[in-house]
């Protein structure tokens, strides 16, 4: 053996001290304690004493590679024995997210990353969502009817039959009910206020009817009906017939006509202001439905009025305080005017015995 060769010459028992003797270059093994977990130390003699140089916890003797060990790696089993073993099969990393996932620390996300889902499918196809089914099993499931713009749409529990659906909030995604109702025959009800943009058509044919239930109709900008047939001037509070620019509260551009009512003694202004009568017996006259606080003119064409007694209301005042003598065989035209809603009538003959 060469002069400088080092060899292990002795082994020091557990718990024993290193020997005082020895020769330079000798190695000795020493175990400080008696427990199986206590480490062995290697001591070298430096010519004076033994000095520890290697801790067997950090240095081990590798087994000699044999045939078929290419690509293998050294592993230790549970007892600490080392051997050459083939590498474990490659396993793709799995990320399980429970709760909220946050990425901190500025990791590199520039490269593409793949995250696998529980019960993932390589190609689930269109119209599927990832979630849980009725039993809580995760996976891809077909969208319910309506989620793909076809089928039924599920609204709130408060929705009513035939109710008009409308979008809720600013997202434009939630559907809620409303007070508006369109029934199965096309009738629209429950609309408090309606603002129509553009042209509005009521009815599709002449047989359709437009009914206004309310007692007030406000036309802030005026209304021209059927090319000046009726014009409502909202600015000046005027009505025109046959004119688009009425010059007075009631402006008639044309002929104004009246109903002619055959009477037997009652002049009902609800029917008109012009009456005709032929006296074949005594008649007691009266006025009905006179507009309150309005000036009204009534015209009566009376034939053979002088042949029988004509009794006039006490509210009628005649010239000189006496009723005129009427024609017994002919037609007289009488005019009655009131300015106080019929409390007082001024009567006179417009034309006597007109033939």
- How would you class 180 by CB atoms within 10 Å of its CB: exposed for 0-12, middle for 13-18, buried for 19 or more? middle
Per-residue pLDDT of the chain (355 residues; tens, 9 = 90+): 344 444 444 455 444 555 566 777 676 766 655 555 555 666 677 777 777 665 444 455 556 666 555 667 767 677 767 677 777 666 666 666 565 555 554 455 455 555 566 666 667 777 777 788 888 888 888 776 555 555 666 777 777 888 888 777 666 567 777 888 888 888 888 888 888 888 888 888 888 888 888 888 888 889 999 999 999 999 999 999 999 999 999 999 999 888 999 999 999 999 999 999 999 999 999 999 999 988 999 999 999 999 999 999 999 999 999 999 999 999 999 999 999 999 999 999 999 999 8
Sign for the pseudo-dihedral over CA of 262, 268, 274, 277: positive
Instruction: Give the global pTM.
Output: 0.44
Cα-Cα-Cα-Cα dihedral of 182, 188, 190, 193, to 10°?
130
**Domain definitions of the chain by residue range:** 7-55, 156-201, 223-252, 260-354
- Residue count of the chain: 355
**CA angle (314 as vertex; 337, 270 as ends), nearest 5:** 50
């Amino acid at each position: 053996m060469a002069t400088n060769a080092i060899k292990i010459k002795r082994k020091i028992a557990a718990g024993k001290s290193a020997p005082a003797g020895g020769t330079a270059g000798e190695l000795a093994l020493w175990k400080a304690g008696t427990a199986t977990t206590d480490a062995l130390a290697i001591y070298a003699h430096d010519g004076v004493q033994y000095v520890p140089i290697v801790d067997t916890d950090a240095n081990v003797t590798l087994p000699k590679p044999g045939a078929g060990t290419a690509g293998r790696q050294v592993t230790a089993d549970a007892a600490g024995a080392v051997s050459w073993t083939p590498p474990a099969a490659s396993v793709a990393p799995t990320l399980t997210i429970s709760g909220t996932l946050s990425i901190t620390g500025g990791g590199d996300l520039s490269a593409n990353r793949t995250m696998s889902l529980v019960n993932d499918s390589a190609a689930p196809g269109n119209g599927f969502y990832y979630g849980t089914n009725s039993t809580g099993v995760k996976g891809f499931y077909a969208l319910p009817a309506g989620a793909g713009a076809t089928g039924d749409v599920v609204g709130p529990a408060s929705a009513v039959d035939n109710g008009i659906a409308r979008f809720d909030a600013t997202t434009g995604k939630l559907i809620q009910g409303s007070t508006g109702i369109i029934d199965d025959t096309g009738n629209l009800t429950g609309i408090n206020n309606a603002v129509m943009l553009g042209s509005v058509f009521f009815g599709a044919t002449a047989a359709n009817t437009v009914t206004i239930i309310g007692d007030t109709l406000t036309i802030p900008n005026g209304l021209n009906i059927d090319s000046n047939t009726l014009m409502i001037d909202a600015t000046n509070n005027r009505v025109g017939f046959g004119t688009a620019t009425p010059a007075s509260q009631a402006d008639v551009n044309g002929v104004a006509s009246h109903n002619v009512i055959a009477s037997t003694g009652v002049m009902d202004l609800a029917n008109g202001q012009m009456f005709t009568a032929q006296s074949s017996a005594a008649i007691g006259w009266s006025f009905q439905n006179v507009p309150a606080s309005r000036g009204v003119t009534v015209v009566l064409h009376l034939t053979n009025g002088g042949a029988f007694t004509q009794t006039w209301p006490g509210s009628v005042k005649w010239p000189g305080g006496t009723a005129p003598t009427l024609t017994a065989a002919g037609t007289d035209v009488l005019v009655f005017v009131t300015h106080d809603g019929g409390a007082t009538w001024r009567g006179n003959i417009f034309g006597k015995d007109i033939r």
